[in-house]
Copies of this chain bind each other. A is one copy, B any other.
């Protein structure tokens, strides 16, 4: 029989469709051919720095700004969705519709000079440096008084919405708090008021006790496939220390996250064969970074299924694989002990 589960952090429902159930390995695809290490036409490859806007941050030893001696580089997005001019004033059109300027920031973090160096193949310290660079840019962008929320994400592969092969993340600083975040905050606040604690902390505790959906449980981070995962192999990486904002990650935690993120992606690549995926960081609005009730986390969504009319019409997702089974398949492939 199918089962409907509720995501307690959003109150959204997910249908687990037993008639359509697939085994975890059914989602594996022929791994795509690896790209070359260098691509002459790629604006993110070293030597092509003049094809991007000037950098706003780079990690290099010696060398000078915008030369090719960097190993992590952050630039404004040439095709920015938001730009740092305008105001946050709401305007009413025709006495009815509401709009505002597209004010904000949109940056690209180039993860490595090597065109083909996906995170699973990096050294741990390289992933750590990506995380520290994201933190650095977050901390700069949050000072702009028009910014309300900073959204950090990564698109890998065309089904995940990118046309650029060269490994990169994106940072968008928005002048509004998105409704979906407002709802997460409202649900978490209500839980906090009712129970006196953070819903994410309590959820981690339950998952740890139960164990079946946990991939890894380290001192700093827990990796799990959530109870009401929206799609097969959806993975959450949550800091074990309560913290509402990614901005407050400490150096030692960034180091640990580098390791855990690399291993998590390696596990997914191992089973699914370099799948297209999105990675997003859910973090509090800037004014709520110190709240007791919210908890930041990373969410990984391999794009192995397509959102169809039912999802668009209802907001209910249909998942064809149980998180208990996908988690077990990852643990098995990684030789991790069952929790």
Contacts and interface: CB of A to CB of B under 8 A. Distances in A.
Interface in A278-337: 278-282, 299, 301, 306-316, 318
Q: Chain A interface mostly helix, strand, loop or mixed? A: mixed
B315 A180 contact: yes
Interface in A85-107: 85-86, 93-102
Contact of A181 (B81, B314, B318): B314
Contact of A4 (B11, B176, B181, B312): B176
A313 B151 contact: yes
A160 B314 contact: no
A310 B102 contact: no
A2 B154 contact: no
Interface string A16-52: 1111100000000000000000000000000000000
Greatest chain B CB density within 10 A among A15, A94, A99, A312 is at: A312
A203 to B, nearest CB: 7
Contact of A310 (B11, B153, B311): B153
Interface in A126-168: 149, 151-155, 158-162
A158 B227 CA distance: 28
Contact of A83 (B2, B101, B209, B306): B2
B282 A313 contact: yes
A102 B161 contact: no
A161 B153 CA distance: 24
Given A161-B307, A309-B278, A309-B279, A314 B83 contact: no
A242 to B, nearest CB: 18
A287 to B, nearest CB: 17
A311 B311 CA distance: 14
A162 B308 contact: yes
Interface size range of chain A in the complex:
35 or more
Contacts of A180: 314-315
Given A1-B101, A15-B102, A179-B13, A314 B20 contact: no
B206 A96 contact: yes
Contact of A101 (B4, B153, B306): B4
Contacts of A153: 308-310, 312-313
Nearest to A158: B306
A97 B1 contact: no
11 contacts: A1-B102, A11-B179, A12-B179, A13-B179, A17-B80, A19-B81, A161-B306, A161-B309, A161-B311, A170-B309, A180-B315
Interface of A: 1-6, 8, 10-13, 15-20, 78-83, 85-86, 93-102, 149, 151-155, 158-162, 170, 172, 174-176, 178-181, 183, 202-203, 206, 209-210, 227-228, 278-282, 299, 301, 306-316, 318
Given A2-B83, A158-B306, A299-B312, 18 more contacts: A1-B101, A4-B102, A8-B97, A8-B98, A13-B176, A81-B318, A93-B227, A94-B210, A97-B227, A149-B314, A151-B310, A153-B313, A160-B306, A172-B310, A178-B314, A181-B314, A278-B308, A278-B309
